[in-house]
Amino acid sequence: MIPRYTLPAMGALWTDQARFEALLRVEIAVLRVLADQGAVPTDAVEAIASRGRVDVARIAELERTTDHDVIAFVSQVAETVGPEGRWLHYGLTSSDVVDTGLALQCRAAGELLLAELDATITSLAAAARTHADTRMMGRTHSVHAEPITFGLKLASWAFELDRGRRRLRSATDDLATGKISGPVGTYSQLGPDVEQAALASLGLHADPVSTQIVQRDRHAAFLAAIAVTGGSLERFATEVRNLQHTEIAELQEPFRTGQKGSSAMPHKRNPITAERISGLARLLRGYALAGMEDQALWHERDISHSSVERVALPGATILLHYMLVRFRSLVEGLVVRGDRMAENIERGLGLHASSRLLTALVETGGLSREDAYAIVQRAALRAADERRSLRELVDADPDVARALSGERVAEAFDDAIPLRHVETILARLDTLGIRETETVDAR
C-alpha cells in the first residue's frame, strides 16, 4: 500500500521485517516443543532463539538464487546462528511456517482494527447523545419525508459499526488459525501433539483438518468483514457529502486554518475526507472479491493465492485502519448546522405533516383511507406547486374542516409528537458497551 494511506501502527505489521520475524516466531515455537520432547537439543533451540536474527536484505540476496523466499529465510537465519542453525525448519514444510506466521500478522492487524472500531463507535455514540434534540429533516428518495434528529442518524451509524465490529472480531478469531501438519496435512513428520502445543504457545487455533495450507475461506471471510465495514463507512461518508451540498448545507467537514479547497476558487470547502473514504471503500470490495477467488485452489494447494494475499491482506487492513482513523476525526470535528437544519424543515412548507394529517382524518374524522388520502394529497401537491404552506391550505379546506377540529389539525402539525420516542431509541446506545463486554467475556 502506498505511504499516503499507511498509518505507522498498521504499516509496521506488514513490513518484510515483520513478516519474517513472525516466521521465526513459528520456527522457535515448534523447536521448543520438540526440545521438550527430546527430539532436538535444547541448547540448539536456545542458540536459535537468542542468536537468530532476520536480515531482509540478505534474504532478498539469497532469494535471487533460490527463487524461494522461505528457503532464503531459513538459510539467512541459520547464518546468524552458527552450527545449531541446522535444526531450523526441522520437520516442517514452508506452508506450516508461512500460514501460521500469516495468522499472527492477521490477528495483530485485526486487533488494531477492532481497537479503532471501539474508539470510532465511542465517538459516534457521544455525538449522537450531544445531538439527541437537534432536529433535521429525514429524507427518502432524497425528498423530505418526516423530521428526525441528527442524534438518531449518528446512533444508526454507531450500531452499524457495532455489527461490523462483531463480524470482524469473529473473522479475526477464525483466521487466528495455524497448522503444523506437514506437506499434505497428514503429520508425516511431526505429530498432532507438536502442532497443538506449538500453536497454543502462539495463542493460535489448530486447523482441525488442513491440507498443505490453512484453507482460504477464513481469509475470504476476514476480507469480506473488512469490506462490509468499509461499505458502512462509505454510507456515512456519502451522507456527509450529501448534507454538505450548498443547497442543503446542514453539515460541514472540519476545515483547518490554512487549508485550501481549490486552486482556482478560494471559497471552496470540499468534503474531501468523506470523498476519500468513499473511494477507498471500492478498493476494499475488490480485495474481498480477490479473497473469494483464492478459495478454489488445486488439490492440496497451489500457489496462486500467495501473490494475491501479499497485496490484499496488507492493503485491506491498512486501508480500513486509515479510513477508521480519518472518519473518527471527521466525526469529532464535524460542523453541525442546526440553524440550517431548522431552516430546511421550514422550507418544506409543512408537507412532512401529511402522514399525520392522513391518520387524523381516518382516526378522528371517520373518513375512508382512500378519501382521506385524496384530500391530503390534493392539498400537499398544491402546496408544493404553489410554494404555499400546507397548514394554510388545510385550514381553508372545507373537507378538512368538516372532519377535524382546529385543535386536531394543530396536533397533526406538531413536530414534537412524532419525535416523542427519540429518547427511548437513543437510550439503546447504552447497550453498545454491554454488548462489547459480553462478547469479550464469551471469548
Q: From CA 81, how far away is CA 74, in angstroms rounded?
A: 11
**Amino acid type, 37:** Q
Q: Do residues 130 and 332 make contact, with C-beta atoms less than 8 angstroms apart?
A: no
Decide if 141 is catalytic.
yes
Q: From CA 185, how far away is CA 95, in angstroms rounded?
A: 10
Which residues in the chain come in under a pLDDT of 70?
1, 434-443
The sign of the dihedral angle between the CA atoms of 163, 178, 32, 81 is negative
Q: How high is the pLDDT of residue 434? A: 53
Q: Which of the following is catalytic: 141, 267, 299, 421? A: 141
Q: Tell me the DSSP string of 130-195.
A: HTTT-EEEEEETTEEEEEEEHHHHHHHHHHHHHHHHHHHHHHHHHH-EE----TTSS-SSS-HHHH
CB burial readout 198-233, b (16+ within 10 A) else e: bbeebebbbbeebbbbbbbebbbbbbbbbbbbbbbb
Q: From CA 51, how far away is CA 302, in angstroms rounded?
A: 34
- The three grid cell numbers given for residue 130, joined into one nine-digit string: 450531544
CA distances from 341 to 9, 202, 247, 263, 349 (A): 39, 53, 11, 30, 14
- The three grid cell numbers given for residue 278, joined into one nine-digit string: 468513499
**Strand duo 135-140 + 177-178: pairing:** unpaired
CA angle 209–169–289, rounded 5-degree value = 70
* Cβ neighbour number for residue 259 with a 10 Å cutoff: 11
Return the DSSP state at 207: P
Give the bridge partners for 139, in sequence order. Answer: 144
Question: Hey, what domains does the chain have and what are their CATH numbers?
Answer: 1-90 (1.10.275.10), 93-254+264-337 (1.20.200.10), 351-412 (1.10.40.30)
Return the DSSP state at 67: S
Q: Do residues 217 and 207 make contact, with C-beta atoms less than 8 angstroms apart?
A: no
Q: How high is the pLDDT of residue 436? A: 44
CA distances from 319 to 127, 171, 225, 281 (A): 24, 17, 13, 8
Q: How high is the pLDDT of residue 425? A: 97
- Residue 335 host element (H or E): strand 335-336
Decide if 262 is catalytic.
yes
Instruction: List CB contacts of 251: < 8 A, sequence separation 6 or more.
Output: 240, 243, 244, 334, 335, 336, 337
Q: Which of the following is catalytic: 262, 307, 355, 368? A: 262
Q: From CA 236, how far away is CA 244, in angstroms rounded?
A: 12
